[in-house]
Structure 1
């Protein structure tokens, strides 16, 4: 299947600069780019040859662009049809969203439409964040928070325009919004292609990437207001609104962001039937507010890891590697969403444990 990368970020975050670098570098790949604001997102026209009838733009290095005037599914289908007919050649797709777009519906396209799901594989969502204006944009625009929450990788741009302290504050803030996405400072579009392509952010695997500092922040031995009868290796609450200090929060402003993340951990196994019922009910009620969620689980009666992840109401799971001798089976789950009922979800998960 053809891998697809979604490139998102607010207006002025540097998407076009990064895309121009991708399209003009001599990397030997044939990349099809779908843009929904080609006329406004001004890629250097001197390197383009546009067939206006087809709305296809041929790059000098063999890459192509097409502009979206309507439905994304139709644009993807048209690309496949033209490739099958020998009119186009490409081996991966980059979708650049408008700066005001929520990437969620774009990502859902690859799960909902059978034809698209059979021919394309969503690889990753790459989100660009403007280091100079990012804090203000996160305050003013929930779509920016959604862009951060959906990301498999976060590129911080314009780092040369901010102080080290301001950059640290921004990293801290978005790290608590989305702890599973690695952060990287990228200036003038100078990102390594290996950090953009073949991320496998939507592949099920045994590895749950969570910022280790995020997990460590909850391991200071403080008491909870309630006793669940067992220990989580994590404090399982939103660090952005802690009523007490963690050692890593000194000097950082706290923000009441709509997009937050929280982690559930336990060394007790899940009852598979109970967990399936509970997750099904959560997705039915809160699915639109769940941006991304992922976990590696210990299940009763299964000697292997069970891996799951999802976007909104669509969730997939698979069986991973065996638990090794001397290894304590455990579960780790991260949820990223809009004003999620954290306590309801955490307490419900606890009731699903054996």
Structure 2
């Protein structure tokens, strides 16, 4: 597996996605008004049905940037995301605006996958902007029905590094637990937090390090109890974990991951792992979005017994076939 030494881009970015009416705009307005240490540029997707409060952002046909009194700025997307980010960066370089963080709101019907890939694959974006994480907002009242009806809503859950559940007071404790159990079965990596959007702490959304290359694989402990690892409601998005104490053959695994992503890449939403390679005394981590996978080398195993652990979140992935394929890559 090819190991890259990534250079850390300067500007972190949070993708805020979620169900229509779940409270993303309430959360954005809180961020725009809150006294925090960041100077945030919020990019609002013009295709959403909700808008930032009119007194904060006036929606016009042309692109507009509005400065807030807490140091934040807000703009609407007109066209290509890469161009918008580049324009913001150039305005910052010229001293026309000042920001040190970007929050990108996608519309309630958007698939965040292509947006996430922009930060890895676009040469105009990747050197300057670092994807910090994807935060998905789920409406407790209508969440189950939305998951049943909307494929993109299921994708939004699958891509998430953190899931915020809103409007919890509108459902019974049993309904809320059933929804959270379903969300865990779809994405066991993402911590789930019940929130009031108008009072949500900013640090729940920002600087969550969802795309950091590290060896901490956060899989919800409840994933392994009460049969949470079985499908709920026949959801097409599902999590599974592969682990082994036997070392991988590096070349075999690289070829297999390449073939896996070439066939199933569009349905591989997020995958992340720590790898134990034969004759390598250091931990290797890798993660990917769709067809794009990157890897890095961490410190030595030390006193810890080496192991491999990979988490896959995807759409109708052939779990048993993938497990057998990974088995064939063991040394």
Please tell me the TM-score bracket, short chain as reference: over 0.9
Paired position in structure 2 for 1:91: 100
Note if 1:340 corresponds to 2:317. yes
Note if 1:239 corresponds to 2:233. no
Q: How far did residue 217 of structure 1 move?
A: 5.9
Q: Is the 8 A contact 1:283 1:313 kept in 2?
A: yes
Note if 1:280 corresponds to 2:240. no
String of CA shifts for 1:9-57, please: whole Å, max 9, x gaps: 0111110011111110011321101111288423222245789765112
Higher Cα radius of gyration? 1
Distance 2:62 2:266 in 1: 38
Deviates more, 1:6-15 or 1:187-196: 187-196
Distance 1:148 1:39 in 2: 18
Which one of 286, 289, 295 corresponds to residue 311 of structure 1? 289
Paired position in structure 2 for 1:18: 27
Note if 1:204 corresponds to 2:182. no
Distance 1:177 1:258 in 2: 8
Paired position in structure 2 for 1:80: 89
Query: Which residues of structure 1 form unaligned runs of 5+?
Result: 219-237, 242-253
- Pairing 1:106-185 to 2, within 5 Å after superposition: 106-185=115-194
Q: Is the 8 A contact 2:24 2:197 kept in 1?
A: no
Query: Which residues of structure 2 form unaligned runs of 5+?
Result: 1-9
Q: Is the 8 A contact 2:56 2:66 kept in 1?
A: no
Q: Is the 8 A contact 1:278 1:348 kept in 2?
A: yes
Secondary structure in 2 aligned to 1:317? Answer: strand
Q: Is the 8 A contact 1:50 1:57 kept in 2?
A: no
Q: Is the 8 A contact 2:57 2:74 kept in 1?
A: no
Would the alpha carbon gap of residues 169 and 51 (structure 1) be closer, same or farther in structure 2, given more than 3 Å must change?
A: closer
String of CA shifts for 1:221-264, please: whole Å, max 9, x gaps: xxxxxxxxxxxxxxxxx8224xxxxxxxxxxxx31001111110
Give the alignment's Cα RMSD to 1 decimal.
1.8
Query: Taking structure 1 as the reference length, what is the TM-score of the superposition?
Result: 0.87
Q: Is the 8 A contact 1:48 1:60 kept in 2?
A: no
Deviates more, 1:108-117 or 1:185-194: 185-194
Paired position in structure 2 for 1:105: 114
Would the alpha carbon gap of residues 157 and 272 (structure 1) be closer, same or farther in structure 2, given more than 3 Å must change?
A: same
Which one of 292, 303, 316 corresponds to residue 270 of structure 2? 292
Distance 1:239 1:40 in 2: 35
Distance 1:91 1:275 in 2: 38
Choose between structure 1 and 2 for higher RCO, CA contacts under 8 A separated by at least 6 residues.
2
How many pairs does the alignment contain?
322
Distance 1:164 1:49 in 2: 39
